[in-house]
Every structure is written in structure tokens, then in C-alpha cells.
Structure 1
Amino acid sequence: MMKKYLIYISLLGAPLFWGQNKVTETSAYQQNWKLSEKENAAMAFDADIKLSEAEMVLDKKIFQVRKQFLSETEAKKISLYNSSFYEIRPLIEGSKLYEVLQNMPKGGLLHTHSGGITEVQWIISAARKYNECYVYDQKDNDQFIFGQLAFFEKGKVPNGFVSLDKKLNTNPDFEKQLQDLLTLKRDHLCSYTDYWIEFEKRFKRINLLLPYRPFFKEYYLKGFQDLIKDKVQHVEIRYIFEELYDFQHGKYPLKTSITDLQDILKEIHQSDPQFTLKLIYSSFKFLDNESIGKQLETAFEMKKEFPDMISGFDLVADEAAGHNINFFEKNWTKLNELNKKYGVEMPLFLHAGESNSALNKNVLDVALLNNKRIGHGLNLIYFPKTMEQIRKQNKLVEVSPISNQVLGYVSDMRNHPARVLLSNGVQCSISSDDPSVYGYTGLSYDFWVALVYWELDVKALKKLVFNSINYSSLNENEKKKAVTYLNLQWNDFVQKTNQKLN
């Protein structure tokens, strides 16, 4: 009988014994899983950030706000991931997350363009106040396109142009039409448009406005005020230099745009002394070597005279249509010679990899050149060796999420290449590129997109914000002041947002 009991006990006890072994195995598996998780996190771009207790509290609160937002959109069957920015913009503006991000200090806007920072509605209303402002209301021709704005002296108005103010008075509906002509929208992700052709048309419609000196001053004053309102303290503009003019004095020297911008900054500093500006002298990828050589000489001359305003050099335009970066090899090899000649350094801030194609190899060049930051860098993920070089060289990628979607490089924002860059330790900042052309101002929308679609936490947000100052072209003294100010603003934001989200 006892023998029978022992058999039962051994049989019944076996599962318990096997279960204990299984627990031990699972524990070892979980340990390895945790180790893998930790090792991956250690590679991320924000691995060096340590949050304070208040920041950790805010992190949990923002996580819950985001979670609730996603639950509500799902309950309402809103197609969040298959919608364009324009389709969900009202949803963004009505969200608690957007309110939080509007109040978040953004640091610097490191990637934007002359002619792309001030809202379209303001451009129209400000331009129509000038009697000398006209709009082209005929079909496109080789010289002008429908909706193109310009200033002309009386009696020297080309055929096809009519007074903007009179046009809007006699046809009030034209204002909405003109707004649409100045704004590039990707209303539906699946619709086809030649976005770069349309994008360049938006700039052509205002490129005769900006050199008019009275309007130029108004435009940039308003642009800087818009950025400050959105908690941006520093901006770097890819600036296309051209001579300003008015009808009393004719054309002014090229440097007048810099001295006028300095005067505008003085006015801004009366209320916002922390705001700073740098200009990246920019030319076009479709020009030849000789032309770019001349542009580089001019850039050096300007930087020598205004070392605190000119920070570097870039080439802009559609990468699929212009020359590759290595086409200009002769120009890049002369940089050291020019550095010595003018006594100033001219680092590069080149657009590279604004493309979905692995055939576009511009990112290879930026790893070999004195290139401080990379504009867009979307296809960097296709070149793993170069991506690792960029990480080791500590070069920053300027990421513009909404611009990338509008121009057709990304549809579902969850699949944005920046997520790969961030997880692989490549430093990035958030920019808006040409917000005016895309129908908005500031940086809050781009941060919202990044937060929601890329599942960012407060640690990542903080790193992105501080990157925009730490990788800016401010000099060391300016940078120190900017970081001190940003720290104060950030801590104030954390405290106030924690109170609001109680």
C-alpha cells in the first residue's frame, strides 16, 4: 500500500518539479529579454538624458493623454494613420496634446527657408496695402504664372498684372483662391500631384515680393514674431541673397538685407531679448561649378563682414532634378584655400538624402565634408556604414516631418525614416522647412506629429529640443546663454504642465 502511495506522490509531484524548472527557464529568458531591451535603449539618440522627478511625472501624464487621444480616435473610427496632415489638422488643433506642445519651449528652428516662414493670409493682407502691389491674373506664360504677386512702379506694370487691392475688392472670392495658390496641400495621401513643380510655383508667386525693401522688413518682423509666439528662441534660415530695392532709391547693396535684419532683431529684442538669428548662405543645385564658385566667394565676403550673422553654406532645390553634391567636388576642395584667404571658416549645412531612392547618394558626401548638419537625410537609412559614420561624427539630421509628407516622401508617419535614425543613435532636431507654403507657422504641428506617430516620450522631446540649440551655429558664448534660457523655460514648462494635467 505504501509503495502505491509513493508512486502516486512521485507522479503528482513531477508536474510541480517540471513547473519549477520551467519558471527557472522563463526567468533566464526574461533576463535576456530585459538585457536586450536595455542594450537597444542604450543605442538610442536620447540615452544620455536623465529625467528629474517632475519630468518623470510629466512623462506619465503625457503618455496617458496620448493613450486617451488614440482611444478616442479609434472609437470614432478616425483613420489617423492613413490621413494627411491637412485631413487631421482640425483634430490636432482640438487635442490636449497640441495645447501642451504649444506651451513647450522649442529651442531653435534649424531648417527653414527665406520666403517660407510667414503665414499666407498675412502676406496677402500686408501686400494689398501697397498701391504698387499687383497680381498676375492671366494664364501662365514663360515669364509669369497665375496668382504671381509683384511690386511695380506706376506706368511700368507688365501686361496681365492688375492691382491686388482692386482685384480683391471687385472679386472677394479671389482671396481664398490666392491663398490656395500660395499654399501646397496634400489633401489625400493617394492622390497624384507633381509636388515639386507645385512647390516651386508657390515660391515663384511671392519671389517678386520679398526683395521690395518696405515689404521685406514687414515680412521678417512678422515671421520672427510668429516664431516667438510658438516658443521658438532661435532660427537659422537657408537664405537666398538678392539685392533689395525700392522705387525711391533703386537697388541697394547685397549686404542691406543683413543690416535690415539686424535692425529688425533690435526691434524684436525690445520685448524678446533672447531671440537669435543666423543665416546660411544658400544657392541652387542646378547651377554649374563656375556659378557655385562665384557664390562661395560672395558667401565668404559676406561672412568676413558679418561673422555673427552668416554661419555657413548650402545648396537647395529638388535633389532628383539638380546636380549631385559630388558634382561640385572642385568647389568643396577649394574651401580650405578660401578659409585662409578670407580668415573665416565656411562650414556646410547641405541638403542631402531628401529622397526615397537608394540611387541618390548625396548622404555619402556629407560624411566626407565639413558638413555640420544634414537637411532631411531621409534615405540615410539605406546606407548603414554612412549612417554609422554620421553618428560617430556627431552630425545632426534636421528632420521636417510635415514637409516630408506634403512633398510625397512619407505617407504613414509611423514609417518615417527618422524613427530608424533616432533608435540608432543619430542625433536629430525637429524643423518645419517651409511652414508658410504648407499653410501654418511655427513648430508645434511638427512636434505633435513626431510625438503621436513616433511614440516619443518626454526624454525624447527634451533631447530634440535641446539638440536644436546644442547643434545650432551659435558661437560658444551665444550657445551658453541660449541653453541657460532654454533650461529656465523648460523647467517652467514642466512645472506648469504638471499642474494643468492634474
Structure 2
Amino acid sequence: MLVDGPSEWPALRFLLLAVAMSFFRSAVSIDEAHLLLKEKMMRLGGPLVLTTKEEQANERLMMLKIAEMKEAMKTLIFPPSMHFFQAKHLIERSQVFNILKMMPKGAALHLHDTGIVTMDWLVRNVTYRPHCHICFTSKGIMQFRFAHPTPRTSEKCSKWILLEDYRKRVQNVTEFDDSLLRNFTLVTQHPEVIYTNQNVVWSKFQTIFFTISGLIRYAPVFRDYVFRSMQEFYEDNVLYMEIRARLLPVYELSGEHHDEEWSVKTYQEVAQKFVETHPEFIGIKIIYSDDRSKDVTVIAESIRTAMGLRTKFPTVVAGFDLVTHADLRSQIKIKIVSWPQPSGGRLDYRHWQGTSIDKNILDALMLNTTRIGHGFALSKHPAARAYSWEKDIPIEVCPISNQVLKLVSDLRNHPVAALMAIGHPMVISSDDPAMFGAKGLSYDFYEAFMGIGGMKADLRTLKQLAMNSIRYSTLLETEKNTFMEIWKKRWDKFIADVATK
């Protein structure tokens, strides 16, 4: 084209503008693709390269996930955006959930000793055992105790009644058992009405521990409880557990009490017995725990106890943790504590952070913690987040617990979503699943996969989370390698099933 006169300048300008716009669109497109690819690689599990079979399984999984997401957009009914008590039955209908139940999830690293066995078992099995008594405190709170003969009445409790006799007096035994179940969990049809704030739900939460303690701490039940906990998690394709245990005194029918050493030894013996019939199960480890609200001198003594247990049971006791509801009175206050140093072996410090008193995260890092429990506020502390990433310190994410205990209502808005998007080290666990009417890890994996991870979370995310649970466990490197081999065989079978069936 020849353009040699003023009359042709508008055409020239139009041509130049068209070329520029075309180039600009191309440049933007290239940059956009580059950014999307970069974000994909940054996500948790993003760098993983899937095999052909895994790609096939991922395509099938994501097809189901997208279908469920699209349906939720139409109906506005999306389980992760709802309270778990109202969403549980919807989750159980999900085909994605059924796949997650099949998935070998590795390890559960954040569990509490008296909240991991389904409460239905406590009601239908344990409370029907001989010599089980019930009484009510002045505040109407139930207590249980196994004894023979019947215990004497005390100031703290009304007259003890043999539960077998009590059931004979009630008109509807099923209704009575259902009422026990309601008292053993936080589950209610209207959680927003019943639990108006954190203090209310935490009060009920702590009351449950008080109520069921007399059942679980009875020596024969204690042994069965530990065995049952491994069985329930094994059935949910979990092969290893790390349990935060208070190791409160365990009692016999005669009234004799056992100390912490007896409890740890029992954990060890029961785990060995379970592994005999379930050889792929790796085992359990105990993280000795105490209440963060106690005086610092008491906490220091608890650490010394943990060290002693670690020395006597090096393959069972893994570390120490401070637990329970965090508030202004219960910060760790490390500046005024002369923390005992381990002798004869490393003692790993864990940290459970549950509320907005997020300074505890900083304290935990200063104590050289090897994992951060919950770490709900970590995203608000960029320096602490960067430090934990640099030191490869993962957070233990318990989605359902965070929601039920009123830290977040819609799991799509969980703070860890931002951390998952940048690949921050983390594991998924279930905290006290029995208290929430859940079981094992599958429900929490569903919430993390569908809600926290959003549409972008795929098989790579799930695989990374499972491998992380092995990597960040307190097992020795040789034990981790063995664990990884067992998990890999199960993973390959899982992938084949999802890809072809």
C-alpha cells in the first residue's frame, strides 16, 4: 500500500493501531498464560508430575468435582460453605467423598486422645459393660465410673447409680441412649442457635471431655479404646497416628490408679497387638500434652515428665505440646520460663493454636517447634510465615474443627487457602473427629479439597498432602522410607481403581 498524502493519514493511523492492538493482545495472552502456569506450579502439589494412570484418575476425579461444583452453583447448596453438622449427610452422598474414602491418606498427625473414637461405640458398647455407674453433678453434668461395689456419694456428685439399673427405670432405652450420644458430642441440628460464640461452644467442648473421662480412663476400656482408634483410622485408609495425650491416671475396678508410664506402655502394647493383625499399619506415637493455662512452673515440670517418658519409651513418645482454648491468660510466655533442655534425646515441641491470640505462633517458632498446630493466624504474620517456610515447619490444618469451634464459618474463606495457593508446607488432620460426629480423616480431606483448595485443587494436591503426612511425621528416616513404600503400593492400587472403575 502506498500512502503519500495527508488524505491517507487516517488509514495509516488505523492500520498502525490495529497492528499495535494485535501485538498487545498477543503479549497479554502470553503473559497471562505464563502467570497461570506459574501459579499452578506454586500451588501445593503443583510441581508434581503425574503418571499416565494418575492423569487418567485425575481427569475422572476432576470431572466429578467440577460436576458437583456446577450443581452447587445452581442450587447454592455447597457443603464446605455450610456448618458441618448440616452438611455431613450431603458430603456422604458425594462421589468425590467416596473416592477420598478410598484414598490412602498416609498419617493423622494432629489428634487428641479422648476425641478420636466414634461416640456411638462409647454409648452402645462401653456404657453397657458391667459395673458402669452414672451420677449427676450439681450443675447437671453426667459422670461415669466403673466400680464394685457402688461408689459412695460425694460432694461433687449425686448418688451413683448402676447404669444397668438406671436403664430399667427409663421408659425408652433407645431414647435414653440417644440422649447420651447428644451429651457426648457437639452435634446439634441448629449449631448457630445453640453455639452463639466461641466461649459457649468451648464450654460444651470441655464438658464433654469431663463427661466421658470416667469411661475412657477405666483400664479395660482404655485398652479397647486405643485399639478401636487404630481400627477406625485404618478403615479410613490411615496407616499411622500421632496422638496428643494428657496421660491422666487410668483406674481399675478396685480403685487402683496407674501412672503415665503405665499408659504409655499400654499404648505400646496395644499398638503392637494391632500391627500383628494389620501388618501394613505403621503404628502410633504419643505427644505428651498439658494445659497451656497452668502455671509456668507446672508446665516446666510437665516437660520434665515428657523427657523422662521419652527416655524410657523412645519409640513411642515423640514430643510435648500445650493444648486447650487459648486466651489472653494462656500465652506461652516463654520469656519468663526457663525451658528444660532434653537430655539423652531430642524432645520435639508441638504447638496448638486455636484462636485469635496468635502471638502463640511466634512463641512456638522461638521454641523451635517442628510443626504448628492449626496455625490459623499464620497468614497474618508474613515474617513468621517466611521463617516457617524457610525452616520447613508445616502447619496442621483441621478444617472441621476450625469451623465447629467457630474460627471460620465458610471453609472457602479459611486463611489456609492462601497458604495452599503458594505451596506452604501443611498436613490435614481431624483433631477430635468423634466430638464433631466425624470419623477418621476423609471428612476433613473433603472439606480441604472441595472448599479450601477450590476448583484448582486436584490429584496433585491430594498426593502432596498424603506424602507430607509421612514426611513431617516424627518417624525416623528409615521408618519414613518403609512407610512411603507401603503407601506407594496402596496409592498405585487406588489410582488404578479410580482410573478404570
Q: Alpha-carbon deviations, 1:275-312, whole Å to 9, x = none?
A: 21110010110111211121111111111010000000
Q: Kindly tell me: are residues 468 and 15 of structure 1, through their superposed partners in 2, closer, same or farther at Cα, counting changes over 3 Å?
A: same
Change (3 A) 1:263 1:4: closer
Identify if the C-alpha distance between structure 1 residues 36 and 82 changes in structure 2 by more than 3 Å, giving closer, same or farther.
Answer: closer
Partner of 1:441: 439
- Residue of structure 2 aligned with 1:394, choices 367, 392, 395: 392
In the TM superposition, 1:216-255 aligns within 5 A as 216-248=222-254, 250-255=256-261
- Go from structure 1 to structure 2 and tell me whether the alpha carbon gap of 1:148 and 1:73 turns closer, same or farther (over 3 Å shift): farther
Secondary structure at the counterpart of residue 205 of structure 1: helix
**How many Å apart are 1:272 and its aligned residue?**
1.2
Measure, in 2, the Cα distance between the counterparts of 1:196 and 1:163. 30
Once the two structures are TM-superposed, the CA of residue 178 in structure 1 deviates from its matched residue by 1.0
Matches of 2:387 and 2:217, distance apart in 1: 40
Counterpart-to-counterpart distance in 2, 1:244 and 1:280: 17
1:195 deviation in Å? 1.0
Unaligned runs of at least 5 residues, structure 2: none
TM-score between the two structures when normalised by the length of structure 1? 0.91
Match of 2:264 in 1: 258
- Post-superposition shift, 1:371? 0.5
Contact 2:43 2:420 in 1 (8 A): yes
Write the letter of the residue equivalent to 2:57: L
CA–CA distance in structure 1, aligned partners of residues 475 and 177 of structure 2:
40
Q: Distance in 1 between matches of 2:160 and 2:147?
A: 10
The CA distance in 2 between the partners of 1:328 and 1:277, in whole Å, is 33
Of the structure 1 ranges 228-237 and 51-60, higher mean CA displacement relative to structure 2 is found in 51-60
CA 1:398–1:164: 2 relative to 1, 3 Å: same
* 1:270 alignment counterpart: 276
Q: Which amino acid aligns with 1:465?
A: A
- Measure the CA separation in 1 of the matches of 2:28 and 2:388: 34
Q: Which runs of 5+ in 1 are unaligned?
A: none
Are the counterparts in 2 of residues 135 and 162 from structure 1 also a CA contact under 8 Å? Answer: yes
Matched positions, count: 486
Q: Deviations over 1:437-492 (max 9, x none)?
A: 11121000001111111222111111111100100001112111101111111111
Of residues 85-94 and 244-253 in structure 1, the stretch that sits farther from structure 2 once superposed is 244-253
Q: Deviations over 1:232-265 (max 9, x none)?
A: 0000000111232213482234311122222212
Whether the 8 Å contact between 1:292 and 1:331 is mirrored in structure 2 is no
Whether the aligned pair in 2 keeps the contact of 1:101 and 1:448 (CA below 8 Å) is yes
SS at match of 1:367: helix
2: distance between equivalents of 1:471 and 1:79? Answer: 31
SS at match of 1:33: helix
Match of 2:290 among 268, 278, 283: 283
Q: Alpha-carbon deviation of 1:13?
A: 7.7
* Match among 136, 150, 156 for residue 151 of structure 2: 156
Distance 1:37 1:197 in 2: 46
Bigger drift between 408-417 and 262-271 goes to 262-271
- Give the Cα–Cα distance (whole angstroms) in 2 for the partners of residues 168 and 421 of structure 1: 51
Amino acid at match of 2:493: D
On the 8 A contact 1:237/1:278 being kept in 2, the answer is yes
Tell me what 1:200 maps to.
206
Given that 1:402 and 1:432 are in contact with CA atoms closer than 8 Å, whether structure 2 keeps it comes out as yes
Asked if structure 2 preserves the Cα contact closer than 8 Å seen for 1:167 and 1:174, the reply is no
Matched, 1:176 2:178: yes
Structure 2 counterpart SS, 1:115:
helix
2:467 paired residue number: 466
How far the C-alpha of 1:327 sits from its partner, in A, is 4.4
**Any idea what the Cα deviations from partners look like across 1:345-390, whole Å, max 9, x if unmatched?**
11101113x22x3x53111122222210011000111111111111
In structure 1, the partner of 2:85 is 86
**Alpha-carbon distance in 2 for matches of 1:421, 1:3:** 58
Aligned to 2:480: 479
Instruction: Work out whether residues 82 and 189 of structure 1, in 8 Å CA contact, stay in contact via their aligned partners in 2.
Output: no
**Structure 2 CA distance, aligned partners of 1:414 and 1:360?**
21
CA contact (8 A) 2:143 2:211 kept: yes
- Shifted more, 279-288 versus 33-42: the winner is 33-42
Distance in 1, matches of 2:297 and 2:81, equals: 45
CA distance, structure 1, for counterparts of residue 487 and residue 127 of structure 2: 38
Residue 344 (1) aligns with residue 342 (2): no
Q: Tell me how far apart the structure 2 counterparts of residues 18 and 73 of structure 1 sit (CA, whole Å).
A: 44
**Separation in 2 of the partners of 1:4 and 1:440?**
77
Partner Cα separation in structure 1 for residue 82 and residue 447 of structure 2: 12
State yes or no: 1:491 paired with 2:476.
no
Q: 1:82 to 1:197 in 2, by over 3 A?
A: same
Is 1:33 aligned with 2:40? no
With normalisation by structure 2, the TM-score equals 0.91
Deviation at 1:187, TM superposition (A): 4.5
CA contact (8 A) 1:133 1:149 kept: yes
Q: Secondary structure at the match of 2:32?
A: helix
Tell whether the 8 Å contact from 1:245 to 1:251 is kept in structure 2 after alignment. Answer: yes
RMSD: 2.4
Does the 8 Å contact 2:150/2:161 carry over to 1? no
Deviation per CA, 1:67-101: give whole Å up to 9, x if none: 11123334445354642111111111011111100
Task: Say if 1:69 and 1:220 are closer, same or farther in 2 by CA, change over 3 A.
Answer: same
> In percent, how many aligned pairs have the same letter?
28
Change (3 A) 1:433 1:81: closer
CA separation in 2, counterparts of 1:188 and 1:303? 44
Work out whether residues 325 and 365 of structure 1, in 8 Å CA contact, stay in contact via their aligned partners in 2: yes
> In the alignment, what sits opposite 1:62?
61
Instruction: Please state how far the C-alpha of 1:131 moved relative to its aligned partner.
Output: 2.3
Assess if the C-alpha contact under 8 Å between 1:110 and 1:468 holds in 2: yes
User: Paired residue for 1:413?
Assistant: 411
Is the contact between residue 394 and residue 425 of structure 2 (CA under 8 Å) also seen in structure 1?
Answer: yes
Q: Structure 1 76/426 Cα, relative in aligned 2: closer, same or farther at 3 Å?
A: closer
Distance 1:372 1:179 in 2: 36
CA distance in 1, matches of 2:498, 2:336: 50
2:371 pairs with 1:373: yes
In 1: Cα distance, 2:277 partner to 2:80 partner: 41
How far residue 148 of structure 1 moved from its aligned partner, in angstroms, is: 2.6
Whichever residue aligns with residue 274 of structure 2, its letter is: I
Q: Do the aligned residues in 2 keep the contact of 1:186 with 1:406 (CA within 8 Å)? A: no
1:319 aligns with 2:319: no
Q: 1:164 to 1:7 in 2, by over 3 A?
A: farther
> How far apart in 2 are the matches of 1:475 and 1:411?
38
Contact 2:401–2:432 (Cα < 8 Å) also in 1: yes
CA contact (8 A) 1:84 1:187 kept: no
Conserved? CA contact 2:401–2:430, under 8 Å = yes
